[in-house]
Amino acid sequence: MGMIGERVLRTEDPDLVTGRGTFIDNLDLPGAGHVVYVRSSVAHARLINIDTETASSLPGVLGIFTSTDLKADGLNFVPIDMPLLPAGIRRPALADDTVRYVGELIAAVVAESRAQAVDAAEQVFVDYDVLHAVVDPEEALADQTLLFPEFGTNTIVNLEAGQTADFSQCEVVVSQRVINQRIAPSPLEGRVAASRWEEAGPDGVSRLTHWQACQGAHPIRNQLCAFYDLPAEQIRVITPDVGGGFGAKAFFYPEDMLLPWLAKRVKRAVRYTETRTESMNGLGHGRGQIQDIRIGGTRDGKILAYDMQVIQEAGAYARFGAFLPFMTGRMLTGTYHIPNAYMSSRSVVTNTVPTIAYRGAGRPEAAAAIERAVDLFAVEIGIDPARVREINLVAKDQFPYTNGTGTTYDSGDYPGSLEQLLDVSHYAQLRDEQKQRRDNNDRVQLGLGLAVYVEITAMSGGSEFGFVEVTTNDNGDVHAKVITGTTPYGQGHRTTWAMLVSDRLGIPFENITVIHGDTDTVKSSEVTGGSRSVQIGGTNVWRAAGVVADKARQIASRLLEASVDDIVLEDGRFHVAGTPAVTRTWADIVVTAQAMGERLDGEGDFAQASGTFPSGAHLAVVEVDTETGKVKLRNMYAVDDAGRIVNTLLAEGQVHGGLAQGIGQALYEEFIYDADGNPLTGNFADYGFPSAAEVPSFVTVHMESPSPMNDLGAKGIGESGTIGATPAVQNAVVDALSHLGVRHIDMPCTAERVWRALEATK
């Protein structure tokens, strides 16, 4: 019986919930030194002096190191992780002569215990010559204060998508500034890493073992090779269990990269675990777009033109965040047929934490803009937002569909997803309830927010390592081993890959072991992100199992004395087509293979040509207190189409997690700096996000428009909830108050912002 599409419980969870998981902070590393970093307390300054004398004399201190020590060893700038970034925007691993954001590393303290390292770090005294901090991206555009004077400007990337939009035929044109605020990824486990140099082998060369909570062991190894100019075979990177990443752990950081060097300097293993405040003020942030949108069309609801001007915050040192508008531009028009569309963007450096790829990475920003734009347009022409969407959605028979900025969507049914959403939510009845509350002038008003989204997953396609081998144990039981290049950090790869192999080979699910995250064991791996795992990593595991099945059929054909073309593998047994009574088991095949000196193994050979395009429709139902501004999310409905689903239970869990994060951005989350660049939301006491108590039970519906891009017909689903929920909730809040004259409220839609919006209408 096939397993694909079944609701299978995660096999990962028993270890994780009973404390048997392997997290780096729990590793037993005898004698390891603890690393604590001295960080800048000001956003922009020249470094006058770093006094380490008092700190160096404290008990347990093994060493204190600054950029002077790094440069003496021929090390300084961290590698650029985006090849298109300007060469003049370089980041030192430890601040050299200038600091550019609060939290930037200035010195590394290594001590016998973490407490001793913290005490010593507090006794490192830094003299600053404070410079003007540039926090506002629009101020950065003016170039009055330059973060990199030698570069000559704060604008580091300019991007365009589409052709200049023509609004001359529009009867109605609506404009609005939309803020997609800066948010902190906040994984449960922050950055954690450890390094140890093993004893030199016969060749006299010592080898580095580096543990890191990341989203791909080989990419981290490659960065270490580049930074230390070492061959790959001299470095082993291990990534065990990882407590969340959301994109932020797809990148290297100086905190992790310096550990091998520090281990050499103190001649022992070293380890680093960041605090929550360090994570908030140092782990890459997400979003950070100012969007000026303009949408136009006819009074009967047809959208004719759409334009967006973007200012993207890159933070102090440009990383992937500087290129987020590229993804925003690709998905500019969302699910709507708007050939006349254009986006231009400017990415600027500011005295803040660098921005990176956070769950969705450029696609939520596109969805937030177009979905607000459609609602604004609908209100202006007096037509229900659902009807405006129905008029403009790309039709099912238009796929593959190329949007107004040249992106080709593989498959989908956008009208079908909206229709299902309106049906399951009883949309018409909700509108009746809303009208009744408005007619009664109730204090608590009802708001309905729609979002019909499309996103791109596995953006550029590509490949991923997948290997399967079938053997028997000492008892003669058949087992399959899967080695995968993907790195799970909550997705359930161990369960999903075992399901794929069991489905294809008929080997019991519980007899399948999945191995990942070790460069000595896994041949290669890519960054696990962009919702690429099932469609690329899973397809390669599927194909690897297929290679094993083909080898097994060859052996079965000899045992059954039949042509290999006539051999059928069914329910874990081999038989000749039309003669199911005479079979050979996997155990028979393995024993014969061993006798022949053959291995029953295989490697996937799949490379996906380009991305896939999940889609869906979300509806948020909110109640808003018009006296206090308090927003309560009453219901959340989500129809999501991620192609063929391998495990419906895990897919549902991914949607739930994405919805919660989307709701968080819409209602609670915002990373705030004051005018001098000081973080005001540096811990969970100040930075709001929803718990289970703040979200309702979700109503989810799965659709399946299989993708033609891979064997499984799969698309990604890990980020979909985040992309659809955010604009749905924001639209709902505005919708609740639109009859009172409220036109727009920026996220997060806090009680204060809602109250101020209402006051402004009086």
Same domain? For 364 and 401 the reply is yes
In a domain, 221, yes or no: yes
Phi first, then psi, for residue 299 (nearest 5°) are -70, -15
Same domain? For 405 and 504 the reply is no
Q: How far is CA 435 from CA 145, 192, 217, 646, in A?
A: 52, 53, 55, 42
Same domain? For 445 and 466 the reply is no
Same domain? For 741 and 681 the reply is yes
Domain containing 425 equals 286-459+610-760
Separation CA 650–CA 655 (nearest Å):
9
Same domain? For 271 and 318 the reply is no
CATH number, domain of 103, equals 3.90.1170.50
Same domain? For 604 and 676 the reply is no
| Residues of the chain under the 70 pLDDT cut | 1, 83
Beta bridge partners of 348: 155, 313
Separation CA 397–CA 642 (nearest Å):
18
Pairing state of beta strands 33-39 and 270-273? parallel
Separation CA 485–CA 464 (nearest Å):
6
Q: What amino acid occupies position 695?
A: V
DSSP 675-743: TTS-BS--STTTS----GGGS--EEEEEE----TTSTT-B---TTHHHHHHHHHHHHHHHHHHGGGT--
Write down the pLDDT at residue 85.
76
Separation CA 731–CA 377 (nearest Å):
12
Same domain? For 708 and 694 the reply is yes
Q: Which of 222, 251, 280 is the last residue of a domain?
A: 280
Write down the pLDDT at residue 588.
96
Answer yes or no: are the C-beta atoms of 539 and 591 closer than 8 Å: no
Same domain? For 382 and 496 the reply is no
Write down the pLDDT at residue 519.
98
Same domain? For 631 and 618 the reply is yes
Write down the pLDDT at residue 358.
95
Residues 6 or more apart whose Cβ sits within 8 Å of residue 163: 340, 342
- Give first-to-last CA distance, the chain, whole Å: 65
pLDDT tens digits, 475-510:
889 999 999 999 999 999 999 999 999 999 999 999
Same domain? For 343 and 364 the reply is yes
Separation CA 133–CA 42 (nearest Å):
9
Q: Which of 591, 608, 625 is the last residue of a domain?
A: 608
The two three-digit tokens of residue 380, written as one number: 């202006």
Same domain? For 211 and 120 the reply is yes
Write down the pLDDT at residue 751.
98
Same domain? For 225 and 346 the reply is no
CATH number, domain of 512, equals 3.30.365.10
Q: What amino acid occupies position 462?
A: G
In a domain, 147, yes or no: no
Separation CA 262–CA 191 (nearest Å):
17
Separation CA 752–CA 100 (nearest Å):
31
Please choose, from the candidates 718, 702, 613, 733, the residue with its C-alpha nearest in 3D space to the C-alpha of residue 660.
718
Q: Which of 227, 254, 280 is the last residue of a domain?
A: 280
Answer yes or no: are the C-beta atoms of 593 and 603 closer than 8 Å: no
pLDDT tens digits, 250-308:
999 999 999 999 999 999 999 999 999 999 999 999 999 999 999 999 999 999 999 99
Write down the pLDDT at residue 205.
85
In a domain, 113, yes or no: yes
In a domain, 5, yes or no: no
In a domain, 8, yes or no: no
In a domain, 139, yes or no: no
Write down the pLDDT at residue 116.
98
Please report how the helices 720-737 and 648-667 are oriented relative to each other, as an axis angle in degrees rounded to 10.
40
In a domain, 144, yes or no: no
In a domain, 154, yes or no: no
Q: How many domains does the chain have?
A: 3
Please choose, from the candidates 357, 360, 277, 370, the residue with its C-alpha nearest in 3D space to the C-alpha of residue 682.
277
